[in-house]
Amino acid sequence: MSKKTEVIINVALIGALFLVLFLLEQNLPSTHMLFTVLKKGAIYALVAVSMNLLNGFTGLFSLGQAGFMLVGAYTYGVLTIPVADRANVYMYFDGGLIQFALHPIIAIILAGALAALFAYLIGLPVLRLKSDYLAIATLGFAEIIRAIFQWDQLGPITNGSNLLRNYPSYKSVLFYFAASGVCIALIVMLINSTYGRAFKAIRDDEVAAEAMGINLAHHKRIAFVVSSFFAGVSGALLAMYQTSVQAAMFKSAMTYEILLIVVIGGIGSVTGSCISSFLFIILSEWLLRFLDTETYIGDFHVPLLRSGFRKVVFAVIIMIIVLFFRQGIMGTREFSVRSIYNKITGKSRKKEEGGAAS
């Protein structure tokens, strides 16, 4: 299969996906559960891929994702609430300090940029740490960010611990897929670049990577900042999807959810993260909802089913995955048209690419 046909097939598939989404939107009521799941799935796919860039491709075990999403979500909310609504939203803070509103797209980019700036500053001390220590430090900083955004003194900007709402948001599921898709494509391009190869080298062996002349601090910082940029963007998208935002929702539990997605999908696989993100959201938001509701079959009260039981089931699932399926769905492999084609025709990857190289 030539490169050209592969590109054509990929473009056709993406086109078909958007067409299907468009048709679904035309024909199903907009409140249908399917759209909720697809939107949230797309957002989580982006944040999972951004986390995978750090944990899977650069080998930095960071747990700060929720914090950076919070920065993004707040940046978006604060900058886009229409001026007319500010008095109402910031009712405890005399309408707040900021008296302008930006276009949503600009606000989304700024959301990423501010998250990246936070990441740069936090990264200066934190990236000197390794493995578990890095995880603890990033987790701590994420909680600190949350506390600061809830701080009353910052109320004129962040509205303290009150809701941000009334900001504009795109309703169409197409927007979420497009935004998330573009961002994931950018991350994939980074991973496949020389920088990406250096990230993987650092993951595999820091000492050898350094001996090759790779500046460890510089490359780790880039991975951290880029990952946080996209976490910030996904935070903005999440704010948009939820139509109101509050710091309290960005707890470490959220980071763990994303980590769960990354692990299920396969640490070091972009497509794995995407697949498992949709899988996770569909299960947790839709198909496994029944676990949380008390159920009677006839007179029989089904045991165990009550609020919170869903989490127990997820805990069991992650234990099973960690014990028996450490590779996740995809391992470090990627799902692509080419890999399916090769599987069907029985051609090995080695032969084809080796032939192309020589």
Q: Which positions lie near another protein, rule CB under 8 A?
A: 194, 197-198, 200-201, 203-205, 207-215, 268, 332, 349-350, 353-354, 357-358
Nearest to 119 by CA among 72, 189, 80: 72
Residue 262 CB, nearest approach to another protein (Å): 16
DSSP state of 163: P
For residue 297, list its beta bridge partners.
Answer: 300
- Which of 45, 11, 16, 12 lies closest to 269, judged by CA? 45
Q: How far is the CB of 203 from another protein (least distance, A)?
A: 7
Nearer to another protein, 197 or 301 (CB): 197
Beta-ladder partners of 301: 296
Judged by beta carbon, residue 301 or residue 347, the one nearer another protein is 347
Pick 145 or 267: Cβ nearer another protein? 267
Give the shortest CB-53-to-another protein separation in angstroms. Answer: 15
Measured from the CB atom, the residue of 88 and 348 that comes closer to another protein is: 348
**C-beta of 351: minimal distance to another protein in Å?**
8
For the CB of residue 194, give the shortest distance to another protein in the complex, in Å: 7
Q: Distance between CA 248 and CA 162 in Å, rounded?
A: 9
CB nearer to another protein: pick between 125 and 354: 354
Closer residue to another protein, CB minimum distance, 173 or 209: 209
What is the per-residue burial (b if ≥16 Cβ within 10 Å, else e) of 53-91? bbbbbbbbbbbbbbbbbbbbbbbbbbbbbeeeebeebbe
Min dist CB 326 to another protein, Å, is: 15
φ/ψ (deg, to 5) at 236? -60, -40
Q: Are 108 and 237 in contact (CB under 8 A)?
A: yes
